[in-house]
A and B are shown apart, each in its own frame.
Chain A
C-alpha cells in the first residue's frame, strides 16, 4: 500500500521559510477557502498555517549549531487523530495514506488536535474547522500540471532541496532511498504513531587520520635522508621524464 510522505533533510535546511509561504499561498488560494489571517499587517499577526519552521540551538557556544526544523502533519501510518473524531471528518486515505479533514463534516470540537502529539493540526479561527497539511492533494494528482510540478508546493519552493516527496513504502522511491541510506528517523517514536514523514539528521563529514599515516613508515627518506642534488652538468630527473 502506498504511503506518500515528505522527507526533510535537516542537514541542508537553511530556515528560509520559503516552504511556509509557498504552502500558505497555494492552500489559501484553493477551493477549500482561504486560511484565516488576523492582523496580517499590524501588531500581533496570527493565522492558520499548515507548515512552520522553527529554530533550535543545539549545544553551547562555541560548540553550538543551529538546527532549522520544518514541522507539518506527519501523515502517521497509525494516526491517533483519526479514531477520536466523532463525525468521521478526519480520515486517512486508503490509496495513498494522506490524512485529511473533510471541512464540510468537521464540527470544530478540537478533539483531534488534542489527540495529535505533534501539534500540527490548527483550528481555522475564521472558518471554525480543523485544518492541516494535505500534502497538496489538489496539486499532486493534477493532470493539467507538468509531471515534474506534481509535488507539494513546499517541495517545489525549497531552494536547497531539503524536502523530498514520495512513496515511503516504495523501496525505489527517492524518499525511501533517502530514509534508508541517510539515516531517516521519525519524531516521538515512543507513541507508536509511525509517522510517514521522516527527517534526515545533521551530518558532518570527518575522516580519521592517524599520525603514522601522515609519515609513511616505509618512506625511503627516513633511511636515506635528503637525496643529494645532482651535479650541475648531469641531467636532472626533470629533464629525463615528462612529468
Chain B
C-alpha cells in the first residue's frame, strides 16, 4: 500500500491523545485509592486534558486531508453497523467531547463528591466521567485497529496484533508525554508515568516484533494463478492495460527501494523502543525535563516511521495484476 501521510499523522496523533488521557485518569484513580498524592485539578488534569484534546484535534484535522470531499465528511457516521471506519468517525469526536468535559470539570472545579465508598474513598463526578471516557479511549483504539485488521485479504493487517499494536504504541507515547508533562508541572507523578511509559514501550516492542515476525513468514493466499484463473507455473505479464500508471499503480505500491524499505524498519525499531527508553531512564535518575521531552519527541518521530512501514508493508492482492510496475 502507498502510505498516506494524512492517515499516518491521524493514527499517531490520536494515539498520543488517547494515551495521555489514559495516563491522567490512571493518576487520578491511584490518588483516589490513596496510592499516589492528589494533583491540582485545574493545572494538572485541566491543562493535561487540553493537551490531549490538542493532539486529538490535530489528528482529526489531518484525517480531512485524506478525503476527496471533506465537506461531506459528516456523512461518514452513517454506516456504523457495518463499517469500522464509520465507528471510528463516531467514537473520535465522542472521545474528544468527553475529554473536554473531563477537563472542564477539573478546571472549573465542578467536581462534587457523589458518594463515599467505605467512608474512605471519595467518588467524585470526574472519576465517573473519566471511567466512561476510558471505555471510549479503548473503543477508539479498537476501531482504529479494526479498520485495518478487518480486511481479511490484506494479510499483513488481518491479525489481532494490529489492534494490540495500536493500543500499546498509542498508550506508550501518551505515557511518555505524560511523564514530560508531569515533570513540567513539578508533579510527584513523574516517576510513576515514566515507569509505565517504559513498561508500555517494552510491551509494544514485544507485540510489534511479533507482528514483524509473523509478517516476515506470511504465505499469501492469492497468487497470479488464482488472480487470472490459469493453472500454470509460469505466467508472465506482458501488458497491464496502460503505459503510464493509474490509480491502481499509485495507491497500492509504496514505491520505495527494498534497501530504503528495510532501513525505515530499522529506523523505527531504534527510534520507538531503545532510544526513548534510554533517554527516559536517564531522565528519571536526575528528573531532567529536557530528556523526557526528547524521549517523547524521538518516540513520536519513530512512530511516524512505524506507521509508514505498517502501511507500506501490506501487500494488496490487486498488485498481482500489476506485475511490471
Contact = CB atoms under 8 A, between A and B. Distances in A.
Interface residues of B, number: 57
Contacts of B248: 119, 122
Interface stretch (A103-111, A143-151, A205-213): A103-111
Interface residues of A, number: 61
Contacts of B196: none
A20 interface: yes
Interface string A41-52: 001111111001
Contact of A191 (B73, B86, B153): B153
A139 interface: no
B236 A56 contact: yes
B317 A188 contact: yes
Contacts, number: 176
A115 B222 CA distance: 15
B32 to A, nearest CB: 38
A44 B246 CA distance: 10
A98 to B, nearest CB: 19
Contacts of A185: 229
A125 B246 CA distance: 10
B252 A119 contact: yes
Interface string B245-273: 11110011000000000000000000000
B235 A57 contact: yes
29 contacts: A49-B241, A54-B321, A56-B224, A56-B230, A57-B235, A57-B237, A58-B230, A59-B234, A84-B150, A84-B151, A86-B76, A87-B86, A106-B72, A107-B68, A107-B72, A107-B73, A109-B76, A110-B251, A111-B85, A111-B147, A114-B154, A114-B316, A117-B317, A118-B317, A119-B252, A125-B247, A187-B227, A188-B227, A191-B153
Interface of B: 1, 66-70, 72-73, 75-79, 82-86, 89, 147, 150-154, 221-222, 224, 226-230, 232, 234-248, 251-252, 316-319, 321-322
Which 10 residue pairs of A and B lie closest in terms of their CB atoms, listed nearest first? A108-B68, A119-B318, A128-B68, A52-B241, A86-B86, A86-B76, A83-B82, A44-B244, A55-B239, A87-B75
